[in-house]
């Protein structure tokens, strides 16, 4: 039986859409497919009695053509787990992000995931306000900053499914390159990013 879990901390993603990606509003992405890299720094978290604080997680997603969250749209995923995690922590993170432990990833796994790879890699994740910089092994280089609107504040969008509040901040990548294998290789630098604080749980 899955353990109760909760994680919170810092989050950033960078995708191929030129501006705020349409997936949030159930519209097709630019080029009709989504290619996105995502990264989490877990400030505080636990899976049952396993402490996950201080660990980082990355993910790559490539979708079929069409609306990302449409029931018929399938995704291929790579989960990248911090090499600093011990065996128990690694298994806990895999349970959470595979959807086997419930929470937002459970319906994603049931509805969309057609293939999933898992790798353990070194991860460097830094944040200074709304400036984010992430390096994940040889697979991901991602630098992104908040996008400021008319009121000289970083904008927000909602509903974003990967935050308990359903809200994240808008941003733009300066670097967003991926090189994992032939399927997961792209450069979408200069395009949309979402970022900020996050909190997720299965209860």
163-174 pLDDT, tens digit per residue, is 999 999 999 999
Give the pLDDT band of residue 16 (cuts 50, 70, 90). Answer: very high
Residues 6+ apart with CB under 8 A from 166: 158, 159, 160
Residue 203 lies in a domain: no
Residue with tokens 């995923």: 77
| pLDDT single digits (tens) 105-135 | 999 999 999 999 999 999 999 999 999 999 9
Q: Could you give the percent of the chain with pLDDT greater than 90?
A: 92
Residue 201 lies in a domain: no
Give the pLDDT band of residue 102 (cuts 50, 70, 90). Answer: very high
User: What's the confidence (pLDDT) of residue 150?
Assistant: 87
pLDDT at 20 over 90: no
The pTM for the full model equals 0.95
Q: Region 158-186: what's the mean pLDDT? A: 96
Number of domains making up the chain = 1
Question: Of 81, 94, 76, 97, which is closest to residue 182 (Cα–Cα)?
Answer: 76
Q: Find out whether 178 and 185 touch, Cβ atoms under 8 Å.
A: yes
Give the pLDDT band of residue 22 (cuts 50, 70, 90). Answer: confident
What are 42's two structure tokens?
Answer: 């877990």
Q: Find out whether 194 and 166 touch, Cβ atoms under 8 Å.
A: no
3-state secondary structure labels for all residues of 122-152: CEEEEEECCEEEEEECCCEEEEEEECECCCC
pLDDT at 177 over 60: yes
Structural domain of 66? 5-196
Q: Find out whether 186 and 16 touch, Cβ atoms under 8 Å.
A: yes
Give the pLDDT band of residue 14 (cuts 50, 70, 90). Answer: very high
Residue 114 lies in a domain: yes
Residue 190 lies in a domain: yes
Q: How would you class 167 by CB atoms within 10 Å of its CB: exposed for 0-12, middle for 13-18, buried for 19 or more?
A: middle
């Amino acid at each position: 039986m899955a353990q109760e879990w909760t994680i919170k901390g810092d989050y950033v993603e960078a995708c191929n859409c030129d501006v705020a990606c349409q997936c949030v509003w159930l519209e097709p992405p630019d080029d009709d497919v989504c290619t996105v890299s995502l990264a989490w720094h877990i400030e505080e978290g636990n899976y049952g009695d396993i402490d996950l604080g201080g660990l980082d997680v990355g993910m790559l997603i490539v979708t079929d053509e069409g609306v990302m969250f449409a029931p018929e749209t399938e995704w291929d995923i790579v989960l990248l787990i911090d090499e600093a995690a011990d065996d128990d922590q690694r298994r806990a993170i895999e349970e959470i992000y595979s959807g086997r432990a419930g929470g937002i990833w459970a319906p994603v796994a049931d509805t969309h995931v057609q293939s999933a790879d898992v790798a353990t890699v070194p991860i460097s994740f830094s944040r200074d306000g709304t400036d984010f910089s992430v390096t994940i092994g040889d697979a991901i280089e991602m630098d992104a900053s908040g996008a400021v609107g008319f009121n000289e504040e970083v904008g927000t969008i909602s509903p974003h499914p990967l935050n308990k509040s359903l809200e994240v901040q808008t941003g733009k990548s300066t670097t967003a390159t991926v090189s994992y294998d032939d399927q997961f290789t792209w450069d979408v630098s200069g395009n949309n990013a979402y970022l900020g604080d996050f909190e997720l749980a299965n209860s």
